[in-house]
Amino acid sequence: MNETVTLEIKNVGQIKDASLTFGDLTVFVGPQATGKSIALQLLKLAIDAGQVQDEMGRYGLDWSGRLPDFLDAYFGEGMHAIWTDKSSIDWQGRAMDLEQIARRKRKAKDENLFFIPAQRVLTLRDGWPRPFTDYTPGDPFAVREFSEKLRVLVEKELGSASLFPQVRRLKREFRNLLERDVFSKYALKIDKVRSQKRLVLGTEIEGENLPYMVWSAGQREFVPLLLGFYWLMPPTKVSRRSQIEWVVLEELEMGLHPRAISVVLLLVFELVVRGYRVCLSTHSSQVLDALWALKHLSENGGTAKALLDVFDAPKTPPMLKLAQDMMSKVRKAYYFDKGTGVVHDISALEPSAEEDGEAGWGGLSEFSGRASAAVASAVANVNRQPSK
C-alpha cells in the first residue's frame, strides 16, 4: 500500500499530542497506560464508525445520542473521561466530530478494520468463544466484537472437529513451526461433553483430551490469536477476507515464549504481504529487534535467507518469497512517552539517537542496557584492582 494515511490525536486520555503516519506495518511501544490502546481504538472508529454503530445497536447498546454514553459503550465503562473540551482528532487531515458521530448514526458499511484485542484470553469461557451478549455493557466493544467473530468462525465456518493442524489453514511451514513452538504435538480439536461443545487439546492417546483450564498460559493466550489469523486468512484463492484492509493486533507476545513470538511475527509478515495494513502494540523488545533487523537487512542488501535466519525459519520457497516481499514494505514505529504524553516517531530505530525514546527503543531495552552497564562497571573495577 502506497497511500499515506494519517491520524492526529490531541488531549485524549493520556495522549497529549500524537501525529501518526501509518506504514504497511506500524508498531506502538511505550509503558502501560500511555494511550496505545486508545489510539488503536480511535483508528478503528475513524475507519469503521458506521459499522461500529450498527454492531452496537444490533446487540442492544443504546447511547441515546450522548457522547459520554457512546464513549463508555465503545471504550468501556468510565472511559468517557478521556474526552474533554480540549480534545481533538484529525483523520486524513479532516477533523473527526465525535459529538456528531454520537448524535447521528452513520450509514453502515462493510468492516474495513479487524481488531484483535489484548484481552483476547477473555473470549474463551470454558474453552468456547463467548457471544457478544455474554459480556457486561461496560466491557470494551473491541473485545466483544472479536469474541463474536470467533464464535461465528468455530460454529459456522470451520466445520471440522480438528482445528489445528488443518491442511487448508496456514502454510505447511507455519503449521510445523506452531507445532514445534506452541502446541508441542497436541492437536486443537472440537469436543462435545453431553450437548456442550468445547475446544480441547488432543493427545496421542485416543480419547484423552486436555480441557481448556489445564492448557498452558501460552496456549490459552495463543488459541484466540490463531483463530483470528484463521479469520484473516481464508482457505481460498482470495488472499484477504472480504473488505478487511486493516488489522490491529494488541500485545501479540502475551503469554508466549520468545520462540513462539517469532512464529507470530512471521504470521504478521504474512498478513502484511497479503495486503493488510497491520498495526501492533507491544511490550516486547523482540518485536523491535525484528523490526530493526528487517530495516537494516533491507537497506544493506541483506537476503531473504538472512531474514529467515533471524526467525530460525525454514528456507523453503514460500518462506523465502515471504521474507523477500516483506523487505520492500514500509515500516513505522512510535513511542508513547508517559512523562509528556507526546508520541514520538522512532522508525529509524537508531540506538545512538539523542532521544532516549528511540535510543532505548521505547524503554524496551532499558533494563538490558542498565544490566550491561552495571556488569561492565563491575568488571572494570575488578581489573583496576592492584594485583597481590
* Residue 101: CATH number of its domain: 3.40.50
> Coil, strand, or helix at residue 21?
strand
**Mean pLDDT along residues 306-313:** 95
Q: Look at 75-84, 85-94, 204-213 and tell me which has the smallest mean pLDDT.
A: 204-213
pLDDT at 160: 72
* Domain-embedded: residue 207: yes
pLDDT over 80 (residue 161): no
CA separation for the pair 289, 305 (Å, rounded): 17
- Whole-angstrom distance, CA of residue 18 vs CA of residue 111: 25
Q: Is the pLDDT of residue 162 over 80?
A: yes
Query: 382 pLDDT exceeds 90?
Result: no
- What is residue 34's predicted lDDT score, i.e. its pLDDT? 95
Q: What is the pLDDT of residue 105?
A: 72
- Residue 117: inside a domain, yes or no? yes
Whether the model pTM is above 0.85: yes
pLDDT, residue 368, reads 60
* Rounded Cα gap, residues 90 and 93, in angstroms: 6
H helices of 33-161, in order, are: 36-58, 67-75, 98-103, 141-152
Domain count, the chain: 1
- Give me the pLDDT at residue 109, please: 80
Residues above pLDDT 70, as percent of the chain: 89
pLDDT over 80 at 252, yes or no: yes
Tell me what the pLDDT averaged over the chain comes to.
89
List, in order, residues 6 or more apart from 24 with CB less than 8 Å away.
1, 272, 277, 278, 329, 330, 331
Q: Does residue 328 surpass a pLDDT of 80?
A: yes
Average pLDDT over residues 79-94: 96
Residue 379, in any domain of the structure: no
Grid coordinates 500524537 are at which residue? 18
Looking at residue 7, what is its pLDDT? 98
Please indicate whether residue 126 or residue 38 has the higher confidence score (pLDDT).
38
Contacts for 99 with CB less than 8 Å, ≥ 6 apart: 67
Nearest CA to 235 out of 154, 171, 152 is that of: 171
**Do the domain assignments include residue 356?**
yes
The reply to whether 309 falls in a domain is yes
Which residue range forms the structural domain that includes residue 346? 5-368
pLDDT at 205: 63
User: Mean pLDDT, to the nearest integer, of 58-76?
Assistant: 94
- Residue 266 is predicted with a pLDDT of 97
> Looking at the domain assignment, is residue 381 inside a domain?
no
Distance in angstroms (rounded) separating the CA atoms of residues 388 and 379: 17
176-198: average pLDDT: 87
Q: Which stretch of 168-182, 192-206, 322-336 has the lowest confidence by average pLDDT?
A: 192-206
Confidence of residue 3 (pLDDT cuts 50, 70, 90): confident
Q: What is the pLDDT of residue 361?
A: 60
In a domain, residue 245? The reply is yes
Q: Report pLDDT for 208.
A: 80
Tell me which of 102-116, 166-180, 271-285, 304-318 is least confident: 102-116
In a domain, 92, yes or no: yes
The mean per-residue pLDDT over the stretch 191-218 comes to: 83
